[in-house]
Structure 1
């Protein structure tokens, strides 16, 4: 086994094709979780144009590329999953049956530690480093949109009736409702970013779009159009005006939901829920198997989902002083955050406090 480590610009066209082929065949070869667009070469290359330290380890056996491991590295040898904190799927993209030694991989990459927060299922060599496992809800549309809607009606009849009725009222009160699954107008993307940024501030969360590199990343991905990967902007209009929008990433089989938001002036019509139903219909029409709503407990995700995937967080480390120091710093923070999120009696007050802080920030 030979491991080569490359900068994004050094990755050959043949290696990119091999990486894409592994993803395209993943569902046929027993590893459907590897089809997520966050694991695609296009996502890693886009991050590499916006951030320093991006590298790709390519594992070869008898001259054939059999695995790809993208990561970000600091000058102190601390490794992070590509887009840590942003990406919803992380790990090694590999051929069926391939196994690797995590510490050998770390040594070859010059890493003392590799940290992840959305490790996909099936990454058995990394499981010793898992510190927490979490549900990532999905909407299955492989049997078609009507089959999904029928299941939703059966499981949550009140929710389904209410959401569809709100869509009709939006159409009646504010003009014709039109859904565009693949909107190419960059002005609408800017509108979505503005909505999302305001939502982060309003709810007391850190505003991701206050970081220019994240704005650049989203804009780059919006303009990325490959047969097996694209940035997808979906928009719900009422009387020609956008009222809800979503930007995510699509591979052959998966639509990864990423940045949904809506105009608060239309909140009573639940335009975000209406949008997600339309997105499910549009994705089914494209031959997508499922929409990955991403890790995180949200009421709308529980209402829309058909099942859960599992993702993990943690780190793989070598015996190295830098690794010990990084774990000592990060472990208490992660443990506290996950305890608050997993316990309603703690999460409720914390969430209300964040919103109060957000309200103060929004008035400034």
Structure 2
């Protein structure tokens, strides 16, 4: 095994990575492609890739970030929606996680969106979550018929709002892959305002995340391409989304809308048009990510499991990992498991946000 910076991998290694990923049973999520790891490597100095060899040929890759005292985490943890190792089928059964961490000089390896197929790490999971998906494999019309059966009121109301938005704000126009940098800046401004309005941490206040999105917006690869989708009313953007797509999966990442048009639910309209455009492009799945939300419940056709947890090696590093992450994780889990507490927490966050604004 050797450890390298993401930008130090040779083209042969990157092609092998893609081939191993194609052979996996997991959906071809673009967060698991070498292009995402390379983009993180350009904005996060601790990014590394462990390359596992069988003879002269790579048989596996583990992208990760190394922090102080060897504390490790999945590449892009906090913003990446699919995590784990890229391994030859069956290789995970023979690898020892302790030896792998030792070779990477890691005391721990934390993850919060581990794929279900990650047999090497899934046994160390502390929590299981659902990531919500939209299946458009059989075309958008089939998806719409599913919505009409499971959520008839939602679909009827959303389509009616779409028509009203067009009448009152200007003719609607949807662009699936918008290349205008101004539209991306507008989306990031909306999203920052949404984070502050709801009392949550503004991700775009972190320079590395802003730079990462900029890097990925310029990335064009068959299995990892930055995709900015925008819904316009006249010439004015009213909702937008930035995510990553492969040939078969659109990973939904940063959606937002102009609050001035909130009564028209432009975000929901945007997602319907994204599903329609994705199906036309041959993409079969929209991955809405983990985390409960009313719009996800309305749009989803199914769920997939993802996991949160950590692998640790005995020693001081493992103790530091536990102290830095485990109490907060358990507190969050306690609140999420109790709807009344979760509702109170959400109201408290919004109240704190209002106080900060005034």
The total of aligned residue pairs comes to: 356
Match for residue 114 of structure 1 among 85, 105, 109? 109
Matches of 2:303 and 2:159, distance apart in 1: 24
User: Partner of 1:76: helix, strand, or coil?
Assistant: helix
Q: What is the root-mean-square deviation of aligned Cα atoms in Å?
A: 1.1
Matches of 1:129 and 1:24, distance apart in 2: 25
Segments of 5+ residues of structure 1 without an aligned counterpart are none
1:126-155 CA distances to partner (integer Å, 9 max, x unpaired)? Answer: 133110000000001111111111111111
Matches of 2:334 and 2:29, distance apart in 1: 28
Matched with 2:309 is 314
- Of stretches 15-24 and 182-191 in structure 1, the one that deviates more from structure 2 is 15-24
Matches of 1:143 and 1:136, distance apart in 2: 21
Matches of 2:165 and 2:68, distance apart in 1: 53
Match for residue 166 of structure 2 among 165, 171, 185? 171
Deviation at 1:242, TM superposition (A): 0.2
User: Partner of 2:295: helix, strand, or coil?
Assistant: helix
Q: Are the aligned partners of 2:26 and 2:117 in contact in 1 as well (CA < 8 Å)?
A: no
Deviation at 1:287, TM superposition (A): 1.2
User: Does residue 1:32 correspond to 2:26, yes or no?
Assistant: yes
Matches of 2:54 and 2:271, distance apart in 1: 43
User: Does residue 1:65 correspond to 2:58, yes or no?
Assistant: yes
User: Does residue 1:88 correspond to 2:81, yes or no?
Assistant: yes
Q: Are the aligned partners of 1:202 and 1:361 in contact in 2 as well (CA < 8 Å)?
A: no
User: Does residue 1:251 correspond to 2:249, yes or no?
Assistant: no
Matches of 1:61 and 1:205, distance apart in 2: 45
TM-score, with length taken from structure 2: 0.97
Match for residue 2 of structure 2 among 4, 26, 41? 4
1:320-350 CA distances to partner (integer Å, 9 max, x unpaired)? Answer: 2211222133211100012212211101011
User: Partner of 2:354: helix, strand, or coil?
Assistant: helix
TM-score, with length taken from structure 1: 0.96
Matched with 1:358 is 353
Deviation at 1:215, TM superposition (A): 0.7
Deviation at 1:351, TM superposition (A): 0.3
Q: Are the aligned partners of 2:60 and 2:88 in contact in 1 as well (CA < 8 Å)?
A: yes
- Of stretches 329-338 and 16-25 in structure 1, the one that deviates more from structure 2 is 16-25
User: Partner of 1:96: helix, strand, or coil?
Assistant: coil
Matched with 1:56 is 49
Matches of 1:84 and 1:279, distance apart in 2: 26
Matched with 2:20 is 22
Segments of 5+ residues of structure 2 without an aligned counterpart are none
User: Partner of 1:89: helix, strand, or coil?
Assistant: coil
Matched with 2:40 is 47
Matched with 1:292 is 287
